Structure formats: structure tokens, C-alpha cells
A and B are shown apart, each in its own frame.
Chain A
Amino acid sequence: MSDIITLQNVSVHFPVWGFLPFLKKGEIQAVSDVSLRIGRGEIFGIVGESGCGKTTLANTMVGFVKPTAGKVLFEGVDLSSLPRQEFKKVRRRMQMIFQDPFSSLNPRFNVYQIVSEPMLIRGEDDEESMKARVVELLEMVGLSSGDLYRYPSDFSGGQRQRIGIARAISLNPSFLVCDEPVSALDVSIHAQILNLLLELQEKLNLTYVFISHNLADVKKLCDRLAVMYLGKVMEAGNSDKIFAKPLHPYTQALMAAVLNIDFSGKREIAVLPGDTPSPIDPPPGCRFWQRCPKAMRGCKDVPPEYVEVEEDHVVACHLVNGFPKTELPDGYDQPLVRSEKTVKVRR
């Protein structure tokens, strides 16, 4: 299986401007030093809380955002090295499905205009064939030709998301980024849209990047996944392996936070204390140390390295990999005793 997307040490930093112009206050490290590969025909999940950089990472993959450092290779070609015309050609093969079907469709366009717009931009001008293609697309996503001249306001959330999907596949892309495609939808519609995505993937031989904060969806859908926290990948690899044996404390906490509906066990809510800290100038060590229930003293200052614990399962955690053999602070492997203040907070 050849890789469709390869990320090599990709970082995306956004400057934070101060009151005076040209005076940089700091940097939001939305994505820092991420290396991943996504195979053809794969569904690749990116999981994490809001603010962890998952959307920025996906935007970098399709070229919406230029990486500050590192390279994004699409089928082996570096996107940032391409001249504009060439980039546009490649860009057609990658499309996006957005989170909010209410704001991602132009309310003044009818369905035909929405779905045919990418074709118009490509330079197609044969009205007849375009209409036939739009009808074909609508049928593929479970709408009908009767919906052609209706407006987004006539549709429910689930149907709008279907229109968004039809638009995304209109140019026969090979790579599709789905940015939380179901989180704005009702539970009973959830499954319909996810099943549609699965069906289309099989039919059109697509590769998906599926962004979500719902681990249960990711488990069912994805072949491989990356768990992100504050711009860094914490754990990545084969989905079955990660779910069978989550090694990073953050992955474990995320999995514990998924609420259950079966009543076999006790009704208990597992809680990971604290909030995601600000991504402006984050600490040099492990990004998760402040909330990590198993943090050690060294975690704060020594950045963990990525270690492949088994085939296609990479973890960045001192607990799993041990500390590197360089200069270490004293008592680095002792459990971290949080300061008085933090202890008070956790009560």
C-alpha cells in the first residue's frame, strides 16, 4: 500500500501580535513536529480535544495552511514546492467535508449551483452534462433529482451534510478530509451519514482523514489513527492495536471519558481533571504533564521521543519508553507531587 500523504516533521505556528504592530507577543504552536503517513484507501482518524490542532493539521494536508516547518507530500510530491497552476491540479484531488452543514453551504445557491460549482471552477461549461453529473451525485448520496433547485434552507441538517458530501466528491477526488462531519447532527442521523461515508469510500476508492473527538466513532470507522494533544501526536498507529492496548495516559483518559449506555457495570464518570492549557509557548517537556495522572518529575522538562512499541504503533511517553540517557534533572522518575495550589484545585 503506497502512502497518499506523508507528513515530515510538520509544524504550524501562528504569531500572536501585540498592541504595537510588528511586535510579536508569542507563538501559537498549533501543530508541532508531526510526522505521519496515510496509506491509500485508508481511513485515518485524528482524535483530540478542541484546540489540539487537529483541524489545523488537516488544513495543512490539503494546503489551506502552509506549514511553518517540515514537508507535506501528496503522493510523493511536496505541495509547497509546486507552482500555483500545478498545485491547483493536485488540489482537485483532495476535498473537504466541513463540520457545520448550516454555515458551509451558501444559502443563496440552490443545490445544483452548490454541487456544480467545483466543476465550473475546473472550467466545465456543458450545462447538460453537468446537470446529469449533479443528479448522479445526488443519487449517490441519497438525495433525488427533485431536490436540484431547492435551497439549503429547505433541508434538514443530515440532508445538508449529504449535499456537502456530494459537492466534495464532484471532482472525483482520491483524498477526502472529513472535519467532524457528524458532530452537528442528531444521533439518529449520525449513523446514516457515517454509513454513507463508508459506502462511498468503498465505491469510489477514497482515502479519508476523519477528524473527531468521539472515540467510539473513530474506533468503528478508522483503520489507523493519531491521538493529538496541544499540537503534538501522543500516540499513533493501527487503530485495533491502539484500542486493544492504549499506552499513553492521555489516550487512556480519552477512552475512559466515553460515556457508556450499558448497565452491566457501575455508573461512574471517569474524570480527567483540568483544562487544555494555552498553546501559546507551551512547556518544553511532555505537553500533557500538567493533566497527566501518572506524571513524573522529569516529564515537565524532558520531551518524550517517539518510540515504535510494536509494528505500526508509536507512542511518545516517558512512562512507556523510559527517559533518554542524557542529562536528567534529579529524581526525574519520581512521581510528580503537584504544588499546593494545584492540589487545591483538584479537590
Chain B
Amino acid sequence: MEQVLKLRNLKVVFPTDYGLIRAVEGIDLDIYDRECVALVGESGSGKSVTSQAVMRLLGSPPSLVRVDVLEFDGRDLTRCTEKEMQEIRGKEMAMIFQDAMTSLNPVMTVGRQIDEVYIRHEGDSKQAAREKTVKALELIGIPEPGERANAFPHQLSGGMRQRVLLAMAFACMPKLIIADEPTTALDVTIQAQVLKTLRGMQKGCGTSLLLVTHDLSVVASIADRVYVMYAGKIVEKAPVEDLFIKPHHPYTVGLMAAVPTLTDEKKKFTQIPGTVPSPVNKPSGCYFHPRCEYATERCRREMPSLVPVGQGREVRCFHPLSVEGGKSSE
């Protein structure tokens, strides 16, 4: 399988008055052709920073980015000039942001905002671009696309705006789309619609997708492979089915238990104690040990390394669990 993205040892720090914020601490990421890879983590885990670093959107200052390898579609992005990056962004690599209301320009019709992509990247005339825009809007499932193209963002509903962003991202049929929490701001029914469209478009257009989210149920419904992040490090990596059937890292187990489902009959909510550590002041040893019920003396002193367990799986834990049906057998 062709590799679309290869990322090795990405480190991002933000120097601040309070100390160094180590947002991302050495992340490896591989995305292959036509694959949907999910990057899961809570706020402050560094997942959004990682996705922005991949597109080279992080300004320096304020950030300091170190990366050993950043290859996209066989090209070394670290050597690209800003001008070359502008050619790549939007055309070969596109991004869908969480909040459609703030990422769309409120004083431009949505049609014009999509037109821009075609005019900029494909050199189309205004008329040709608009024709393509209407076609793109229709493809994404927007009713009456010709009229909707002349609407301003505030005239559309939340789900519709998110679809406009999808249409914009898929406009040039890019190789890779990064979706940063694409459905977090939406209602459940609209979330299902958007996810279905996203998956359909991704399969139909043959793009790869990097899905950044904190919602495991979204991951379970559309991802192929999953990276779980915690406090700037990857703690578990696995194909989606293996991860959900048999999670190894205690954090993954906790996250999964925290997702309430309709089939669950218990009246109490399963919780992970404590909070995500502050990025300036991370604990010693394994970053998860203060919240981990299996933590030992070794976890408090040493940071475990990411070790392979089984095919395509890696876990960063001294005491990986093997959990099936919610019961630990360690």
C-alpha cells in the first residue's frame, strides 16, 4: 500500500512565561492510501497541534517544531518553502475544522468561498469555478445547491455549514484530509449525517483521512486505524477493531468505559479519576500513572516506551491489560 504521510519523531514546544509547554513529545504517524486514521485524545493531549504541524500551520514563534521525517506523498515537506506549502494546502492536503461558524467567512457567500479554492488551485474562471462549486455542493448532499451557494454562512444550519466545509475540503480531491473534530459541535442526528457523508466521500474519492477527535464512538464508526494520545505522547496504536475488542492501555480502557451506550444497564457512570496533567508540569515516569489504578513503583519512575504487541499494534505501558468484555484478566 502506498504511504501518504510519514511522520517521525515530531516534537512541538511552546515557550511561555510559565515554562516550556511540551505539547507534542516525539510522535510517529503513518497514513496509507485510502485509509481513515483516527487520532484520539482529550483536550490538551496534543492532537490538534499534531495535525497542524503536519500541515505546517504552526507559526514559529510561538512554537518550536522539530521533526525527523515529514514526508507527504513522497515529498519532504520540511524542505518546502512557504510558497510551495501554499500550493499543497487545499489542493493535496485539506483541513476541516471543528467550528464551521468561525472557520467560514461571515461576509462572503459560501459559494464564493468554495469558488476561491478552484480559482486559486485550478486556475478556473469565476463561471467555471461556480459550476464546479454547485456540483460539489450537490455531491455532498446539499439540497438546491445553486441557491445555497449564494447563501451566507449565518443563513445555513450547523449541519449544512459543516457540509460546506466538507465540500471545500474535497474540492480539489486532495490526497489527505485532516478533519479536526468535525462533528463535535453538532447534534446527534446531524452528526450521523455528516459522518456518513464524510465516510462516503472519503471512500468515493479515494482520499486518506486523518480524523482528530475525542469521541470514541465517532472513531468506532468510521476509522480504520487508531492512535490514542495522552499528554503529548502516543499511548496506544491499533487497528480499530482490535482496539475496541481488546484495548491494552489502561487509559484506552478508561476512555471506552466512559462512553455511555444505550445497551448499558448500569445506573452509575464509569469515570477516570483525576484530570489531564498540566502541560507545563507533567508527572514523572508514565504520564498516566497518577490516574491509573494499576500503577506501580516503576511507572512512577520510568516512562515506558512504545512496544509492539501483536500485528500492527503498539502500546506504551509496563502492565498492558488484556481486557475482553470489560473484565481485566491481568
Q: When the two chains form their complex, are residues A195 and B260 in contact, meaning their CB atoms are under 8 A apart?
A: no
B128 interface residue (CB < 8 Å to A)? no
CA distance A295 to B192 in the complex (A): 21
Interface residue count for B (Cβ, 8 Å)? 50
Given known A-B contacts A49-B190, A259-B218, A259-B220, A195 and B271 have beta carbons under 8 A apart: yes
Give the chain A neighbours of B261 by CB distance below 8 A. Answer: 216, 258, 260-262
Query: Which among A187, A192, A219, A255 is the interface contact of B214 at CB below 8 angstroms?
Result: A187
CA distance A345 to B141 in the complex (A): 7
A187 vs B230: C-alpha distance when bound (angstroms): 13
Q: Is A143 an interface residue (CB 8 A)?
A: no
User: Is A190 in contact with B269, judged by CB distance below 8 angstroms?
Assistant: yes
Q: Quick one: which of A214-247 are within 8 Å of B by CB?
A: 214-217, 219-220, 243
Question: Which B residues from 173 to 209 make CB contacts under 8 A with A?
Answer: 187-193, 195-196, 199
Encode contact with B along A273-311: 1 for CB under 8 Å, 0 otherwise: 101100000000000000000000000000000000000
B330 close to chain A: CB less than 8 A? no
Interchain CB contact under 8 A, A220 and B193: no
Check B259–A187 contact: CB distance below 8 A.
yes
Is A28 part of the binding interface, using a Cβ–Cβ cutoff of 8 Å?
no
A304 to B9, CA, bound (A): 61
In the bound complex, residues from chain A placing their C-beta under 8 Å from that of B43 are: 157, 186
Interface contact tally, CB-CB below 8 A? 140
Pick the residue among A158, A216, A259 that contacts B192 (CB under 8 A). Answer: A259
Q: Which residue of B lies closest to A215 (CB)?
A: B262
Whether B272 and A191, one on each chain, are in contact in the complex, defined by CB atoms closer than 8 angstroms, is yes
Given known contacts A186-B43, A258-B262, A259-B217, A214 and B255 CB-to-CB distance under 8 angstroms? no
Q: Which of A158, A219, A275 contacts B160 (CB 8 A)?
A: A275
Scoring B143, B199, B218, B263 by chain A CB atoms within 10 A of each residue's CB, the highest score goes to B143
Q: A186-B42, A186-B214, A275-B160 are in contact. Are A261 and B192 (CB under 8 A)?
A: no
B150 CB contacts on chain A under 8 angstroms? none
CB proximity of B103 to chain A, nearest CB, Å: 19
Specify which of A49, A191, A217, A243 lies most central, judged by the most chain B CB atoms within 10 Å of its CB: A191
The chain A residue with its CB closest to the CB of B256 is: A261
Within 8 A of A (CB), among B95-149: 141, 143-144
CB distance from B134 to the nearest CB of A (A): 14
List 10 additional contacts besides A259-B217, A261-B220, A261-B259; criterion CB under 8 Å: A49-B189, A49-B190, A188-B254, A190-B269, A191-B271, A198-B267, A216-B264, A271-B192, A273-B193, A275-B157
Show 17 A/B contacts (Cβ-Cβ < 8 Å), sorted by A: A186-B42, A187-B215, A188-B255, A192-B271, A192-B272, A195-B268, A213-B188, A215-B188, A220-B267, A220-B268, A220-B269, A254-B189, A257-B191, A259-B191, A260-B220, A269-B199, A275-B159
